[in-house]
Amino acid sequence: MQESGAWGGSFADVFASAQQIISNFVQRIADWIDGQDANDLTEEDIEAEIANLAETVGDTEIASAIEEAVLEELQAQGETQMVWYVSLEHSCANCIANAEASPLPIGSVWPSGDTAPPAHPNCSCSLGVPNT
């Protein structure tokens, strides 16, 4: 199971990630208000950004809950090893390193420091068992 249940890191890591996302969003709004944003955000742009942020957080939390359940089920079935399957859609260097380290004993920590996906917001990697 993941230490924090969100985005695959410690609570401090999750908080820092959320804080950075929100800080970037607030800075874009401040630039728009000050007239410094060359793109001149519209109200619709702001609403879209808020919706995107909410969707990212929601999708990542759902993925975290699913993968935690998968890990628990693998343990319940007596599996001893797990494989990190990389998402072609949102693969990053950490996810690829985790996949390359597969298989690992269940309960191990992956090279990224995670115990299960997601390793980052929008991560759609998954756990499974090695092909036999």
The dihedral over CA atoms of 99, 100, 106, 110, expressed in degrees to the nearest 10, equals -80
Tell me what pLDDT residue 39 has: 63
Domain ranges of the chain: 11-128
Tell me what pLDDT residue 36 has: 59
Looking at residue 50, its amino acid is: I
Tell me what pLDDT residue 37 has: 60
Tell me what pLDDT residue 10 has: 55
Give the whole-angstrom CA distance, residue 102 versus residue 79.
14
Per-residue pLDDT of the chain (132 residues; tens, 9 = 90+): 333 344 445 556 666 667 777 777 778 777 767 765 656 667 787 788 778 778 887 888 888 889 989 999 999 999 999 999 997 776 789 999 999 999 999 989 999 999 999 988 888 899 999 986
DSSP SS3 for 57: helix
Tell me what pLDDT residue 2 has: 38
Tokens of 110: 């992956």
Tokens of 88: 């072609």
Give the whole-angstrom CA distance, residue 113 versus residue 57.
20
Tell me what pLDDT residue 1 has: 36
Tell me what pLDDT residue 124 has: 85
Give the whole-angstrom CA distance, residue 84 versus residue 94.
11
DSSP SS3 for 4: coil
Instruction: Say if CB 127 and CB 84 are below 8 A apart.
Output: yes
Tell me what pLDDT residue 90 has: 65
